[in-house]
Structure 1
Amino acid sequence: MIPSGSRRSKIRPPRKSLVSSSLDGSNSDPTVDFEKSWSILSSAITQIQSKNVSNLSYEQLYRKAYVLVLRKYGAKLYDNVASLITHHLLVRRDHLLAISDHEDFMKAVILEWDEHLQSMKFVSDVLMYLNRVYVKEHKKLLIYDLGIELFKDNVIKHNHDEVGRKIVDIVIQEITRNRKGEVITTTMYITKLINMLELLVESAGTDIQYGENYFQTMFEPTFLQNSETFFYNLSQEFVNYNLGSRYIREAGQFIKEEESRINFYLPSSTYPKLIDLMNNIIIKDKIDDIISLPYEQQGLSYWLQPVLGNIFDDRQSTHHLAELRILYELIGRFDSEYQLLRLRLKENIIAQGIQLPEFVKTSLQNAGEKKTATNSTAFATKWIDTVLRYREQIMKLSAEAFASNPIVEQTITYAMRDFINGSGTNRKNNISVNAPELLSVYMDYYIKQLGKPSPSKDISTSSSDSTDVFVNRSIQFLRYIKDKDAFEANYANHFAKRFLNSKGASQTINANNKLGVDLEELILSKLGEEMGTTSLDKIIKMNKDIKSSKDTTAEYKKHISKNQKQNLVDLELKICNVTDWPKSMTKDYKSFSKSDTGEVSFLWPKQLRNTIREFEEFWFSGKKNDNKSLYWSPKFGSIDMRITYPSRTYEINMSTYAGIIMLLFAPQSSNADGTMVSAFDEQKELTYDEIQELTGIPEADLKRHLQSIAVAPRSRLLIKKPMTKEVNNTDVFKLNENFKSPSIKVKVLTVSASSSAAPSKAKQKTEQEEEAEEVQSNIAEGRKLEVNAAIVRIMKSRHTVRHNKLIEELIKQLANRFQPSIILIKQRIEDLIEKEYLKRDDDDKNTYHYVA
């Protein structure tokens, strides 16, 4: 019995007695000696190939081969062995080609290969000495490797790769069947055949370990070409569905199955080639078209629709997370930066974002809201809350579908910033929004609500501290605003109006929140952390005036109490340094005092004159305010007045103008016992012209406040004849005896300037429009100063800068404040050249030099 062996077995030479005996009869013919020995060896090899080795003697066969090599018949023995194996393989090849069934053919090839390798192990053991001496000296292939080479040449590649091509075609057909969803039973055969093809290496001299194998030269190119055609046809089939969701799902499922399939079949060198091919054809070449499909064909706009729909619809739609997850995975297969996804995601978010103003307006109208203008409080609060809810939805989707990828979330942030700021115009419906102004309106509204005894229900929160929710949401939205200087200007305007129109000197957070912490202080500190205290310089100075006013009020009251002054009106003072406060509120502050000619256009009621005179004496006492001027402005603030109507006595809060008008109807005469006659007994009536003459209130303001106290149904303190909405010069006013209110405390709200404007003057600018223009003017002036300062800083540090570099550095420095236009930059450069802060180079006009 011949023991099994391989080309790696250790060679053990025969005993000397064996050698000696083999050399007996040295006079015999060498040719006869070889033929006899070869006859025995060839017969043994044939029996090995026939799997009949039970009667063979390993020692005898080894000795025969050993002697032949020793007698220099190594070459002839090597060639004869090769010829014998070749003949056998050619016979077996014909047997294989006679098999028509694919599975039977695959099975037969594998069996033939396995048996051939087994027989070559036995033959290698018999010819071990041949391998050691002749093969090594003449740099031939080892017998085992020769067998593999002969199998490749005489079975696989013979007759123009007849068997090889059949193997390749059958394996590819079986894989194709499996790709199409058929269940195949030849999986193990495919794997074994591919392993076999990998072992059929093109030999290089004595080494069969290296070089290209049959799999690489024949199978792989054919398989990749076939796969390319299959992938293209499959992707076209998916495209023909005309449904993005189906394409995404089917492509994702196929790719997952293909990866599992080829990972089992193919070697590691081919796997990435096929993956790249599949990614390019099925994903890279088609995915942009799929993403860009219209809503009806379920592209990205369809998958993102629930993000927008769920904000306004109580019936929450299910997010298309499955499709978006697959999309994210598919794009990630060929682009780790997700550039295409980010580009299309940004486009869709902007497209959805510019729809929000129209949705908000429609929602307000459906809710019965009358004020739906884009600068109204209702619109501002609704729009900002909607944008923030949209952000919550899209970020939640990003976490679940895009694995909270930072670069994707950064794209979402940029997209939201674009539609909130620059791309926030819906051209179809001509709806535009001013984000900095609307955020200021939003914050103004909620600060007022939080300053009330019970907080507004508009701020939803699971915690008891609604202030934190409001502040966090405001700061969150502020981060999306590009023109933070515009927000600062609008916030300063609202900040001033809150103070000037508030009942007290400051507002404090109610007991449900942080007791004792000033609300404005809290907001300012948060804004300072976000924007920097330098940018809030004016508001901080205004806030100092508020604190100073509170201290001055306390000192004045202490002074009155100490000096026991009687019959004075209780004052809550609001003293503003006009240089720090918005010009729209301080521009006409001198018009309420004596002019240079001594004329007085505005008349304070006699009930207030003693109080005014007393405070002025206090203000200038001790020379502490000698270098300051004091002007009284009745256009802001409010008056608390106790009025006894026939029904009951009411405590009424109204604007200063409205209070001055009501004081005209106060009782003027007294009874015999010294008590004042009731104002209702006096039956005083005043015409519009008489009221204007007695007060000097500007016409527009007078009509507004008369509408507030004589026309508005809930606060009709006066009766107007005739009772019409418009106030005319011939109208007559008197106290309303029938005034009633369910509450003792009544607050008179002042009608807006736009609603009080007469039709004939509709084209005139309202107070709000003038105020808005003033704010815009302040923003423009502030930007000029900031650009000038930035240019000087850059020039001072660089001394010499080219035009384009200066613009680049300037935009970079001002990015956190606003985006300066090129026109503005050029104007500021010319201005600074004129002022001799810098100059142009004599030879190069695009180069500037700093003038120290």
Structure 2
Amino acid sequence: MALLNPGQAKFEVEWPSMRPTVLKLIRQEPVNRREWHDLFWSVHAVCLWDNNGPNKLYQALQEDILEFIRHAQSRVLQYQEDSALLKAYIAEWGKFFTQCDYLPKPFNQLEVSLSKDKENVVKKKGEESIVRKLMLDSWNQSIFSNIKQRLQDSAMKLVRSERNGEAFDSQLVSGVRESYVNLSSDVEDKLKIYRENFEKAYLDALESFYRCEAPQYLEANGVQNYMKYADCKLKEEESRGRRYLETAWGCNSLVVLTDCCVKVLVTDYKETILQECAGMIRHNETDKLRLMFSLMDRVPEGISPMLHDLEAHIVSQGLRDMMESAETITTDSEKYVEQLLELFNKFSALVNKAFIDDPRFLTSRDKAYKSVVNDTSVFKLELPLKNKSIGTKTQPESKCPELLANYCDMLLRKTPLSKKLTSEEVESKLRDVLLVLKYVQNKDVFMRYHKAHLTRRLILDTSADNEKEENMVEWLREVGMPADYVNKLARMFQDVKVSEDLNQEFKDAHRNNNEGIADSINIKILNAGAWARSSDRVSVSLPMELEDYIPQVEEFYRLKHSGRKLQWHHLMSNGIVTFANDIGRFDLEVTTFQMAVLFAWNQRPKSKISYESLRLATELPDAELRRTLWSLVSFPKIKRQVLSCGPEVKSPKDFDDSTQFWANQEFGLIKNGKLQKRGKINLVGRLQLSTEKSKEEDNEGIMQLRILRVQEAIVKIMKMRKKINNAALQTELVEILKNMFLPSKKLIKEQIEWLIDHKYMKRDDENINTFIYMA
């Protein structure tokens, strides 16, 4: 081709030769290499050498594109049937869209020339070329705007047919969607046309379909079958959405689809479905509950009623089971703990199978189980409350921590239970106790009783396994028991070990002087702060044989530790005496109080002695003497009692000053139905280390300690905060004390007032609900 002069390079000269090639490209007809190259050159020439050439070229190109689109539209619209219409449109669109990639290439110079007239010469990233944009916009404004409603309606009819189980070519719907997605030339929002048209139509059609279908199915088949239907349809629609909706370009169509499905299939029937929840939980229908959970978890606030139903079930079921077993569990701590663990395992299995251990349901289980554990309707512990205006009242609390401590004692002491269990089984059961203990609100009660039992085991040497005893202390530390409490228990073990060494030294020192004393006495010298209670000091007149040892022990200890004073706790002491009568000779393991009573018959074995005489001889307090005598005249584990009394009484309260007691000459041990002439029996039982006052004192001690703990915690908070309001103070206080007990609002208020009265803190002058620390 000859070179053109600037004057000759006019649009009117070049366009007639360019147009046939342009039309071939628009119609997807073959173009040879020479025609392709000539088109590049002609566009270049027109844009560079004709001042108005670019605009004329753009306009002429637009007219030919629109003309082609008009013919394409007429070819599509000749089909009336939905599938045929969609096939024709997809075919025409496919050809045209392919040419959207090829036609713009020769017109690069046109784009440069037209851009020079605009402020922004540099094309933005992702922006369509001018010719490609012209093609897409022309298709959109011409054919698409005119027939998009028919396209959408036809596509949605096909999707509805699929929902009804009819087969069709799914590519037809996908092809329509792709045209919607690819039509947009908007750089900022590539999916605008798709979202405003195809996606909206798809969601409207889905909602319309299920608004008609779902209520009919629910009414005909019931809630439980409807849940399966809804679950199945949700999965179907998600799968269908992945085929027919746009998933690329970061599109959220599937999320919008799922929300729409959940709304029309689940949310609209939430109340009806949830009415079945409580019944399913009661009947342990875990498969149905799991299905309900999977549906309701998609609904805003759908889970909350299920959590409430679970909590209500656990509380009512747990308390009902406890009530039914009340007679057994109130007297047998083993049965009680087993019952609690059985409930916990049952509720845990329900949450696992029905709700896949979802944290929200685990929290509800814990909350409800805590209510069962701390309930006071089955049995309760009465803690004394002292108030200046009303005197002494009692505050009921769960007896659970006391029974847990009793059960630990059964496992750690030499009992029939601990003897039949292996070491691993004992450890497993102790771990179970710690699991339940986690839910106990007032752990300080457990601590108090656990320490009392441990004291008894260490004093009487009745621990089944010393290693387990020390392990238990560490396990209590691991589950968050207060450090000062655990440290005090650890100190008790240290005291016992030190005492063993002292005892051996005492025996060695006196073996040569008096061989009998070395063999017959075993002393324990313990730290009073870690072990004793005030009620442990009970006066008693000891037998002469025991009284003689005391000065020797005190002299030995004085030489070892100058300046320290020994206090004798006879309540904690015990020994073995030989009882001889007409039947035979028997070794009796007795408390010091029992020994003091029995020694009254040492010189006159067949005499009758009055209650009044025994009181004068032993110098025991009335209450302790009654308990001790009752243990010798009515010991539950033997048929023939050590002592007899007259007249007969039904309880220790019935003893009076004239009641006569005598050594039973018919006493003997019966084994396998035969009377034994020799044997050994332990008469200590649960008498040791407890007094009439000790139970009441324990409960008072718990309350006194709580008062001190609350005061200590308030001062600690005030010292750190300097100034704090009442609500914040109470919140922080509960956080500090929750591992020991849950302080009542009344207790907190009383201690705040006490601290204000004693100038530890004061109220703010401007706000009485704000407190200020006073150094």
* 1:714 aligned to which of 600, 619, 638: 638
Q: What residue is the counterpart of 2:484 in the other structure?
A: 534
Q: What residue is the counterpart of 1:784 in the other structure?
A: 707
Where 1:818 maps in the other structure, the secondary structure is coil
Q: What residue is the counterpart of 2:681 in the other structure?
A: 747
| 1:418-450 superposed Cα distances (whole Å, 9 cap, x missing partner) | 3366567689xxx9733432332222221114x
Q: Structure 2 CA distance, aligned partners of 1:795 and 1:841?
A: 13
Q: What residue is the counterpart of 2:520 in the other structure?
A: 570
Q: Residues 341 and 563 of structure 1: is their aligned pair in 2 closer, same or farther, counting only changes over 3 Å?
A: farther
Superposition pairs of residues 336-415 of structure 1, within 5 angstroms: 341=303, 344-345=306-307, 348-349=310-311, 351-352=313-314, 355-356=317-318, 358-360=320-322, 362=324, 371-373=328-330, 376-386=332-342, 389=345, 393=349, 401-402=356-357, 408=360, 411=363, 414-415=366-367
Q: Structure 2 CA distance, aligned partners of 1:346 and 1:769?
A: 45
Does residue 820 (structure 1) correspond to residue 746 (structure 2)? The answer is: no
* 1:192, distance to aligned residue in structure 2 (A): 0.9
Q: Structure 1 CA distance, aligned partners of 2:563 and 2:24?
A: 130
Q: Structure 2 CA distance, aligned partners of 1:685 and 1:701?
A: 17
* 1:194, distance to aligned residue in structure 2 (A): 0.8
Q: Structure 2 CA distance, aligned partners of 1:843 and 1:803?
A: 14
Superposition pairs of residues 262-341 of structure 1, within 5 angstroms: 262-268=241-247, 269=251, 270-279=253-262, 282=265, 290=273, 293-296=276-279, 298=280, 301=281, 320=286, 324=290, 327=293, 331=297, 341=303
Q: What residue is the counterpart of 1:437 in the other structure?
A: 402
Q: What residue is the counterpart of 2:550 in the other structure?
A: 615
* 1:612, distance to aligned residue in structure 2 (A): 2.1
* 1:780, distance to aligned residue in structure 2 (A): 1.4
Q: What residue is the counterpart of 2:371 in the other structure?
A: 419
Q: What residue is the counterpart of 1:490 in the other structure?
A: 449
Q: Structure 1 CA distance, aligned partners of 2:218 and 2:72?
A: 48
* 2:203 aligned to which of 220, 224, 233: 224
Q: Structure 2 CA distance, aligned partners of 1:627 and 1:293?
A: 73
Q: Residues 233 and 495 of structure 1: is their aligned pair in 2 closer, same or farther, counting only changes over 3 Å?
A: farther
* 1:782, distance to aligned residue in structure 2 (A): 1.0
- Supply the RMSD in Å over aligned alpha carbons: 5.4
The 8 Å contact of residues 647 and 739 in structure 1, kept in 2 or not, is answered as no
Q: What residue is the counterpart of 2:152 in the other structure?
A: 168
Does residue 640 (structure 1) correspond to residue 620 (structure 2)? The answer is: no
The 8 Å contact of residues 640 and 667 in structure 2, kept in 1 or not, is answered as no
Number of residue-to-residue matches in the alignment:
726
Q: Structure 2 CA distance, aligned partners of 1:544 and 1:59?
A: 102
* 1:83, distance to aligned residue in structure 2 (A): 5.7
| 1:668-713 superposed Cα distances (whole Å, 9 cap, x missing partner) | 4xxxxxxxxxx7xx6x666777766765664675367546655646
* 1:167, distance to aligned residue in structure 2 (A): 1.2
Q: Residues 770 and 86 of structure 1: is their aligned pair in 2 closer, same or farther, counting only changes over 3 Å?
A: same
* 2:94 aligned to which of 114, 120, 127: 114
Q: Residues 579 and 649 of structure 1: is their aligned pair in 2 closer, same or farther, counting only changes over 3 Å?
A: same
The 8 Å contact of residues 237 and 261 in structure 2, kept in 1 or not, is answered as no
Q: Residues 566 and 721 of structure 1: is their aligned pair in 2 closer, same or farther, counting only changes over 3 Å?
A: same
Q: Structure 2 CA distance, aligned partners of 1:467 and 1:810?
A: 36
Q: What residue is the counterpart of 1:315 in the other structure?
A: none
The 8 Å contact of residues 511 and 517 in structure 2, kept in 1 or not, is answered as no
Q: Structure 2 CA distance, aligned partners of 1:469 and 1:239?
A: 49
The 8 Å contact of residues 661 and 695 in structure 1, kept in 2 or not, is answered as yes
| 1:350-375 superposed Cα distances (whole Å, 9 cap, x missing partner) | 74156435425645x7xxxx6431x7
Q: Higher mean Cα deviation, 236-245 or 820-829?
A: 236-245
The 8 Å contact of residues 249 and 323 in structure 1, kept in 2 or not, is answered as no
**What is the letter of the counterpart of residue 735 of structure 1?**
Q
* 1:722, distance to aligned residue in structure 2 (A): 8.0
Q: Structure 2 CA distance, aligned partners of 1:155 and 1:119?
A: 16
TM-score w.r.t. the length of structure 1 is 0.68
Unaligned runs of 5+ in 1: 1-14, 307-318, 511-516, 594-603, 669-678, 754-766
* 1:524 aligned to which of 443, 458, 473: 473
**What is the letter of the counterpart of residue 415 of structure 1?**
K
The 8 Å contact of residues 111 and 129 in structure 2, kept in 1 or not, is answered as no
Q: Structure 2 CA distance, aligned partners of 1:456 and 1:772?
A: 28
Superposition pairs of residues 621-660 of structure 1, within 5 angstroms: 623=558, 628=565, 630-631=567-568, 633=570, 637-643=573-579, 650-659=586-595
Q: Structure 2 CA distance, aligned partners of 1:121 and 1:801?
A: 72
Q: Structure 1 CA distance, aligned partners of 2:723 and 2:188?
A: 68
Superposition pairs of residues 188-203 of structure 1, within 5 angstroms: 188-201=171-184
Percent identical pairs in the alignment equals 18
Q: Structure 1 CA distance, aligned partners of 2:188 and 2:563?
A: 105
Q: Structure 2 CA distance, aligned partners of 1:706 and 1:82?
A: 118
Q: Structure 2 CA distance, aligned partners of 1:219 and 1:533?
A: 67
Q: Residues 105 and 575 of structure 1: is their aligned pair in 2 closer, same or farther, counting only changes over 3 Å?
A: same
Where 2:92 maps in the other structure, the secondary structure is helix
* 1:802, distance to aligned residue in structure 2 (A): 4.7
* 1:778, distance to aligned residue in structure 2 (A): 0.9
Q: What residue is the counterpart of 2:194 in the other structure?
A: 215
* 1:237, distance to aligned residue in structure 2 (A): 6.2
**What is the letter of the counterpart of residue 16 of structure 1?**
A
Q: What residue is the counterpart of 1:736 in the other structure?
A: 666
Q: What residue is the counterpart of 1:253 in the other structure?
A: 232
**What is the letter of the counterpart of residue 527 of structure 1?**
L
Q: Residues 645 and 100 of structure 1: is their aligned pair in 2 closer, same or farther, counting only changes over 3 Å?
A: farther
**What is the letter of the counterpart of residue 159 of structure 2?**
I
Where 2:521 maps in the other structure, the secondary structure is coil
The 8 Å contact of residues 360 and 382 in structure 1, kept in 2 or not, is answered as no
The 8 Å contact of residues 135 and 141 in structure 1, kept in 2 or not, is answered as no
The 8 Å contact of residues 652 and 748 in structure 1, kept in 2 or not, is answered as yes
* 1:195, distance to aligned residue in structure 2 (A): 0.6
The 8 Å contact of residues 588 and 683 in structure 2, kept in 1 or not, is answered as no
Q: Structure 1 CA distance, aligned partners of 2:575 and 2:583?
A: 22
The 8 Å contact of residues 252 and 326 in structure 1, kept in 2 or not, is answered as no
* 1:255, distance to aligned residue in structure 2 (A): 2.9
Q: Higher mean Cα deviation, 283-292 or 557-566?
A: 283-292
**What is the letter of the counterpart of residue 716 of structure 1?**
R
Q: Residues 561 and 68 of structure 1: is their aligned pair in 2 closer, same or farther, counting only changes over 3 Å?
A: closer
* 1:632, distance to aligned residue in structure 2 (A): 5.7
| 1:371-400 superposed Cα distances (whole Å, 9 cap, x missing partner) | 431x742344324543664586478659x9
* 1:785, distance to aligned residue in structure 2 (A): 1.6
Q: Structure 1 CA distance, aligned partners of 2:770 and 2:29?
A: 97
Q: What residue is the counterpart of 1:673 in the other structure?
A: none
**What is the letter of the counterpart of residue 453 of structure 2?**
H
Q: Higher mean Cα deviation, 251-260 or 322-331?
A: 322-331
Q: What residue is the counterpart of 1:7 in the other structure?
A: none
The 8 Å contact of residues 763 and 772 in structure 2, kept in 1 or not, is answered as yes
**What is the letter of the counterpart of residue 535 of structure 1?**
Y
The 8 Å contact of residues 578 and 587 in structure 2, kept in 1 or not, is answered as yes
The 8 Å contact of residues 76 and 85 in structure 2, kept in 1 or not, is answered as yes
* 1:16, distance to aligned residue in structure 2 (A): 1.1
* 1:152 aligned to which of 119, 140, 153: 140
Q: Residues 620 and 274 of structure 1: is their aligned pair in 2 closer, same or farther, counting only changes over 3 Å?
A: same
* 1:583, distance to aligned residue in structure 2 (A): 4.0
Where 1:735 maps in the other structure, the secondary structure is coil
Q: Structure 2 CA distance, aligned partners of 1:823 and 1:750?
A: 42
* 1:469 aligned to which of 428, 435, 451: 428
Q: Structure 1 CA distance, aligned partners of 2:341 and 2:684?
A: 27
